Amino acid sequence: MKEKKKVILTCSVCLSRNYTTEKAGNSTRRIELKKYCPKCNKHTLHKETK
């Protein structure tokens, strides 16, 4: 069974924390996804935070 870690995604424009997701426990790269930000009212780049 693979271990998964919960991470928080933060909007790169307004810095609001909008999403939580899981990633594999052995990956070292940070997640970057284009998601909808309700505060900016558009799709922006969301990055994983610590």
Q: What is the pLDDT of residue 45?
A: 97
Question: Is the model's pTM score more than 0.85?
Answer: no
1-50 per-position pLDDT tens digit: 678 899 999 999 999 999 999 998 888 899 999 999 999 999 999 999 97
CATH of the domain at 17: 2.20.28.120
Domain count, the chain: 1
Domain housing 14:
4-49
The pair of structure tokens assigned to 4 is 């998964």
C-alpha dihedral, 23 to 21 to 48 to 5, nearest 10°: -40
